[in-house]
Structure 1
Amino acid sequence: MKPYSHRSDKKPSRFKKFLRWSGYLGLATVGLVLLAMLAYCLVFFKPGLGTEQMAAQWAPAPSQFVDVDGVRVHVRDLGPRDDPHPIVMIHGTDSGMTAWFAWADVLQKRRRVILMDLPGFGLSGTLADGQEGSAAYARFMLTLLDQLGVRQCSLVGHAFGGEVAWQTAYLAPDRVTRLTLIAPDGYPVEPWRVPLDEKLASMPVVSWLNLFTRSRWVVERGMEDRFADLNKITPEIVDRYFALPLHEGNRQAQRARLERNLFGAPTSRLTSLHLPTLIIWGELDKQSPSEQAYWFGRDVVGSKVLVIDNIGHVPQEEDPGRVLNDQVYGFVTK
């Protein structure tokens, strides 16, 4: 008689073998993904850069830095200082004041023009954690205007900067004399319209990788989503969009905005705006559909809408001379 044993002489079932090999395959897959992430980090590693490291290229004279409630802000104050209503220009996401240089060169001959890098962009510092929405930036704008001694101004804003502009006019209607909004944010857009670089940045793992990596190829693909005429995407423009987010704190600020989904504002506020407003949109804007121009035109009392043919999401960069035509120049400088 054989002694009793708990050991089974039966061979493992096919199902158990499948589970075992599935586990091996899963571990191998995880290992390959980790190796790929490590390789990506090694190839595209880009540490954050301090202001002093970037200032020579991106903040030459007449740039200056001013302290606004503890935030060091990169500012350019151009043109005649006795202008009672300066033109203040607010850039969009992933950009900086350099997006307005072509317009500023023209406008400063007649008017005082103030450019800035918003906190968390360009060479400026960052706002406090949790203050990444457009309403917080609108409050920042009012504090900046106080710091610069500007009582009233004309605001020009693009995309997120356009939303900040109309939010500022909503918060302090007595401070803003007129609005020029270029493809402003506010109304929701379909997810498929989001540029490739922003789509990737919104993914949890990629958003973490973006804190210390940067791919020029991804930046270039993102620019293709913003421009209608790809021949207008110059190496200088790609350099700028690639480099400015490397400033210390910028990528962390972008991640916070995306994680908290701090985009869009209560567009019901638009109906309370009663000031001269020009809404400009590129007909071939892939990121924000041009029909939104008419939504803004409907909601902002007395506003004018200008849709420009054969141009994309960043008209002031894609073809600055054509966009700053007699009609736009006349409105902005009035």
Structure 2
Amino acid sequence: MSNPEIGQSIQCGPFLTNYHDIGAGEAVLMLHGSGPGVSAWANWRLTQARLKSGFRLLLPDLAGFGYTPAPAGEPLDRQAWLGQIVAFLDALGIERCHVIGNSFGGSMALALAIEHPERVNKLVLMGSVGVPFELTAGLDAVWGYAPSFENMQAIMKIFAYDQALIGDALVQMRFEASARPGMQEAFSRMFPAPRQRWVDAMAHPEEKIRAIRHPTLLVHGRDDKVIPLSTSLTLLDWIEDSQLHIFGKCGHWTQIEHDAEFCRITADFLQGIPAA
């Protein structure tokens, strides 16, 4: 059986990037989070199924995640990932697109809007990193993960408000993904302890965020134990043309725990349909 997480490959600077190119319509770049064993497909598997009828969805695995290897000696930091993203858009001939960023991917979406504003139409930031906050116990556990079924189960339970979502099959799938050769080595390179410094490194200066003029939809789970709701409240204050949708009974997995409603409000926002 073929692995659905493996799509096409394209060279983006030093990174041979695994990606999916799905659907038709306005281009939407979808940037995944930084959990262990994550890939763009795993992150957006439900979202892409609902949005592909109206948009061209571009799902790259950033370097060190999923099926995009991180060559030895290449830095894995915000500038390296931003360079990969710009090279990815260039390689596909995408001059401008909407951008959806989840958690860590939200900081990268902000980086693209700040450094290359001409490449971005609208922003959707979900449980986004990118502003200062105190490292949560949940994020410290996520970034400090060591591969085991039990550790992955504990991480998954931190992500989700609805614990019924955390079945053994999901845990096993993500554990196996995190334990593939080279994955833990890359993951441990990114966010070694003490981890507050990586929260700070992924944050953008207030004045640069305040200069963003792109229409922005902020989405957050009220019960998020990984990235605090305060980050989206800060972004709502700093980004002039922004709106915030908060989901109750929702952790860090907005796109999974409330996938239908998340996709509805996202599609309406990107298409310019006023909120009901």
Normalised by the shorter chain, which TM-score bucket? 0.7 to 0.9
Q: Deviation at 1:276?
A: 0.7
The answer on 1:181 being equivalent to 2:128 is no
TM-aligned CA deviation for residue 275 of structure 1: 0.6
Shift of 1:72: 1.6
Q: Is 2:268 the partner of 1:330?
A: yes
1:226-305 residue pairs with structure 2 within 5 A?
226-259=159-192, 261-263=197-199, 264-268=202-206, 269-305=208-244
SS of equivalent to 1:86: strand
**Cα distance in structure 2, aligned partners of 1:165 and 1:120:** 18
User: Aligned equivalents of 2:165 and 2:64: distance in 1?
Assistant: 27
| SS of match in other structure, 2:2 | helix
Does residue 314 of the first structure (1) align with residue 263 of the second (2)? no
Q: Gaps (5+ residues) in structure 1?
A: 1-54, 202-209
Question: Does the 8 Å contact 2:132/2:231 carry over to 1?
Answer: no
1:92 aligns with 2:25: no
Distance 1:292 1:242, change over 3 A: same
SS at match of 2:94: coil
Q: Percent same amino acid among aligned pairs?
A: 22
Q: CA deviation at 1:292?
A: 2.1
Partner of 2:55: helix, strand, or coil?
coil
Distance in 2 (alpha carbons) for counterparts of 1:136 and 1:127: 12
Where does 1:58-137 land on structure 2 (aligned, <5 Å)? 58-59=4-5, 63-80=7-24, 83=25, 85-94=26-35, 95-97=38-40, 98-126=42-70, 129=73, 131-137=75-81
**Runs of 5+ consecutive residues of structure 2 not aligned to the other structure:** none
Higher strand share: 2
Q: Distance in 1 between matches of 2:43 and 2:16?
A: 20
Give the C-alpha shift of residue 330 in structure 1. Answer: 0.4
The residue type paired with residue 124 of structure 1 is: T
Shift in Å, 1:130 = 5.7
Distance in 2 (alpha carbons) for counterparts of 1:262 and 1:126: 18
Change (3 A) 1:88 1:182: same
**Superposed counterparts of 1:130-209, under 5 Å:** 131-195=75-139, 197-198=141-142, 200-201=144-145
CA-CA distance at 1:177 after TM superposition:
0.4
Normalising by structure 2, report the TM-score.
0.87
| Residue of structure 2 in register with 1:28 after alignment | none
What SS is found at the alignment partner of 1:57? coil
Point out the more displaced range, 249-258 or 309-318: 249-258
Counterpart-to-counterpart distance in 1, 2:189 and 2:198: 8
The 3 A distance-change label for structure 1 pair 111 and 316 is: same
- The residue type equivalent to 2:257 in the other structure is E
The structure-2 alpha-carbon separation of the partners of 1:58 and 1:109, relative to structure 1 and needing over 3 Å to count, comes to closer
Q: In structure 1, which of residues 212, 216, 220 is the aligned counterpart of residue 149 of structure 2?
A: 216
Give the whole-Å Cα distance in 2 for the aligned partners of 1:231 and 1:293.
Answer: 26
Change (3 A) 1:240 1:185: farther
Cα distance between partner residues in 1 of 2:65 and 2:32:
9
Matches of 1:65 and 1:246, distance apart in 2? 22
Deviation, structure 1 residue 195: 4.3
**Secondary structure class of the residue paired with 1:238:** helix
Q: Distance in 2 between matches of 1:298 and 1:181?
A: 14
Task: Provide the aligned C-alpha RMSD in A.
Answer: 2.1
Per-residue CA deviations over 1:12-35 (Å, capped at 9, x if unaligned) read: xxxxxxxxxxxxxxxxxxxxxxxx
1:182–1:279 CA contact under 8 A, matched in 2 = yes
**Alpha-carbon distance between aligned partners in 2 of 1:294 and 1:184, rounded to the nearest angstrom:** 11
Are the equivalent residues in 1 in contact too, given 2:89–2:95 (CA < 8 A)? yes
**Which amino acid is 1:252 matched to?**
E
Structure-2 change in CA distance of 1:127 and 1:164 (3 Å): farther
Aligned length: 263
Change in CA separation of 1:64 and 1:130 when aligned onto 2, cut-off 3 Å = closer
Q: Is the 8 A contact 1:134 1:160 kept in 2?
A: no
